[in-house]
Amino acid sequence: MHHDTQATRFADWMRQHIAILHRVVRAFATGRDCDDLMQEIMLALWRAAPAFAGASSSATFVYRVAHNAALLWHRSERKHRRRVAIAGQIDWMIQPETGRARADTPARLESLYASIRSLAPIDRSLILLSLDGLGYREIAEIHGLSESNVGTRLTRLRKRLADIMTSGEQP
């Protein structure tokens, strides 16, 4: 791929899908680590741009590269976080169009992200994709899992999240 074509594709992805990257980063990192992870994801997207053949949507490709980069980054950081169960019907806290917290829920949203960060990396990714409104088929495609496996895992994660949210337990 020619450098100019790669640069154009990358710039288009950044304009169209930057919110995806921010949500992935926020789900996998805190503090100064957010900047490091964002750089890693952007570098992974730059490197992956020539491999994009258009077989899937650009959003699916960006999700896959971003989540894989975040998972790899997490493994390399060797951060051991205790696993906390999260899920449930929580999308009422997030505005789907922007991915930002509704004005009345910043503390709950931060608690949600803290809980997401405490999950095993694959569970973080599954919950985040679900919160972004992706269906089981798309999530399965991104992670190379079966739709039924995704459905089962998300059902369990949602139940755990509901239990945590009703008990007020902190991750």
Lowest mean pLDDT, pick from 58-62, 78-82, 94-98 = 78-82
CATH code of 83-171, in short, is 1.10.10
Position 85 scores a pLDDT of 31
Q: Give residue 5's pLDDT band: very low, low, confident or very high (50, 70, 90).
A: confident
Domain ranges across the chain: 1-79, 83-171
Lowest mean pLDDT, pick from 35-39, 68-72, 75-79 = 75-79
Report helix, strand or coil for 54.
coil
Between 166 and 116, the more confident residue is: 116
Position 134 scores a pLDDT of 85
CATH 1.10.1740.10, applies to 1-79 = yes
Helices 58-77 and 3-28: crossing angle, nearest 10°? Answer: 60
Mean pLDDT of 49-74: 89
Asked if the model's pLDDT at residue 110 lies above 90, the reply is: no
Mean pLDDT of 30-37: 87
Q: Give residue 165's pLDDT band: very low, low, confident or very high (50, 70, 90).
A: low
Strand partners, 101: 94
* Burial of residue 116 (number of CB atoms within 10 Å: 0-12, 13-18, 19+): buried
Asked if the model's pLDDT at residue 107 lies above 60, the reply is: yes
- Tokens 């095993």 correspond to what residue? 120
Position 163 scores a pLDDT of 65
Percent of the chain with pLDDT strictly greater than 70: 75
In order, the DSSP letters of 83-111 are: -----SS-GGGB-TTT-PBPTT-HHHHHH
Instruction: List pLDDT tens digits, range 119-140.
Output: 788 888 898 888 888 888 999 9
Rounded (10°) CA dihedral 119, 76, 44, 54 = -50
